[in-house]
C-alpha cells in the first residue's frame, strides 16, 4: 500500500516525469523528455530516489518512456551528457555557478552520486517493470536492468555505449555484464555494440519479450499487477 509520504512525493512530480497511481499497488512512471529521447536529468534522478525511498515493498513501479513522436522510439537514451558536460566546462573555466547547477560531492558531479544511489534503491525494490520499447542505453539501463522485470520489444535498441565518450560501463555494468554468457558482456561493454530485443532476451538482459507493446498489452499488465500478480 502507498504511505502518506509516498503519496506526497507522487503529487510533487516534476513535469519531466508523469507519475500516476493506477491502483494502491501500482505506480506508473513515464519519462517525459521526448525531445532529448527521454535522457535522464539530475532533477528526475533526485525525484525518483525520493520516490523509491518512500515506497512500500508491495508496490510495483511500471516505468516507460514518453513517445518521442519520431521514427526512433526511446525508453531512456541515458544520462543527460550535455548537462554534465556543461557543468564540467563551466567549472573548468573557473566559474562558480554553471547555467544548470550540479553541486559537487567530493569533486564528483552530484548527478552520478544521485544516479548510483537510485540504481541501488531500484535493485533492492522487490517489483519494478520497465518497458524497453525503443532506445535503452547507459543511464536508461541503470534505471531498469537492476529491476525485477525488463520487457524488450521488436523496437528495443539496447547498449552500454560509455566507452565511446571515454567512460567505463557504469550504472553497475561491471557487476552484471560479466555474468552474460559467451563473452557477450565483455563485448558489449568494450565496444558499445547495440543489440535488439530478441538478442537481449536470449542473453537474459531482458526477461520478457513481446513483439509489440501497445495499449491492450499495457492494460492487461497493469490489471494483473493491480490485482497483486507479479
Burial of 148 (0-12, 13-18, 19+ CB in 10 A): middle
Joined together, the cell numbers standing for residue 211 give 513483439
**Residue among 62, 76, 6, 2 nearest 34 (CA):** 76
* 170, 173, 189, 197: the active-site residue: 170
Q: Which helix (H) or strand (E) holds 114?
A: helix 110-124
Q: Residue 24 catalytic?
A: no
Output the pLDDT for position 170. 92
Q: Residue 88 catalytic?
A: no
- Count of C-beta atoms within a 10 Å radius of residue 7: 12
Q: Contact 45/111 with Cβ under 8 angstroms?
A: yes
- Per the structure, the count of domains in the chain is 1
CATH number at residue 205: 3.90.226.10
Partners of 128 in beta bridges? 61
Q: Residue 139 catalytic?
A: yes
Output the pLDDT for position 229. 61
* 65, 79, 142, 185: the active-site residue: 79
Domain range spanning residue 82? Answer: 4-226
Three-class secondary structure of residue 193 per DSSP? coil
* 78, 134, 138, 139: the active-site residue: 139
Q: Residue 162 catalytic?
A: yes
Q: Contact 152/158 with Cβ under 8 angstroms?
A: yes
- In tens digits, the chain (230 residues) has pLDDT values of 788 898 999 999 999 999 999 998 999 999 999 999 999 999 999 999 999 999 999 999 999 999 988 888 999 999 887 777 776 666 656 665 555 555 554 445 788 889 999 999 999 999 999 999 999 999 999 999 999 999 999 999 999 999 888 888 999 998 999 999 899 999 999 999 999 999 999 999 999 999 999 989 888 887 777 665 65
Whole-model pTM: value is 0.88
* 140, 162, 185, 197: the active-site residue: 162
What's the rounded Cα separation, in Å, for the pair 62 and 26? Answer: 7
Amino acid at each position: 500500500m502507498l504511505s502518506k509520504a509516498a503519496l506526497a512525493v507522487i503529487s510533487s512530480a516534476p513535469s519531466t516525469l508523469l507519475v500516476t497511481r493506477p491502483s494502491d499497488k501500482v505506480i506508473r512512471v513515464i519519462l517525459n523528455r521526448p525531445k532529448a529521447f527521454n535522457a535522464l536529468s539530475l532533477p528526475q534522478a533526485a525525484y525518483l530516489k525520493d520516490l523509491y525511498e518512500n515506497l512500500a515493498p508491495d508496490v510495483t513501479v511500471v516505468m516507460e518512456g514518453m513517445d518521442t513522436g519520431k521514427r526512433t522510439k526511446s525508453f531512456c537514451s541515458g544520462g543527460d551528457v550535455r548537462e554534465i558536460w556543461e557543468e564540467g566546462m563551466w567549472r573548468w573555466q573557473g566559474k562558480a555557478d554553471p547555467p544548470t547547477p550540479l553541486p559537487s560531492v567530493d569533486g564528483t558531479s552530484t548527478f552520478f552520486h544521485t544516479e548510483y544511489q537510485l540504481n541501488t534503491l531500484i535493485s533492492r525494490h522487490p517489483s519494478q517493470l520497465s518497458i524497453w520499447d525503443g532506445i535503452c542505453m547507459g543511464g536508461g539501463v541503470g534505471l531498469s536492468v537492476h529491476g525485477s522485470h525488463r520487457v524488450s520489444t521488436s523496437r528495443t535498441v539496447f547498449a552500454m555505449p560509455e566507452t565511446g565518450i571515454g567512460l567505463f560501463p557504469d550504472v553497475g555494468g561491471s557487476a552484471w555484464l560479466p555474468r552474460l554468457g559467451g563473452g557477450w558482456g565483455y563485448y558489449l561493454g568494450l565496444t558499445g555494440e547495440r543489440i535488439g530485443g530478441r538478442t537481449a532476451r536470449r542473453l537474459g538482459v531482458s526477461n520478457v519479450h513481446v513483439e509489440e507493446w501497445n495499449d491492450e498489452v499495457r492494460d492487461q499488465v497493469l490489471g494483473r499487477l493491480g490485482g497483486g500478480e507479479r
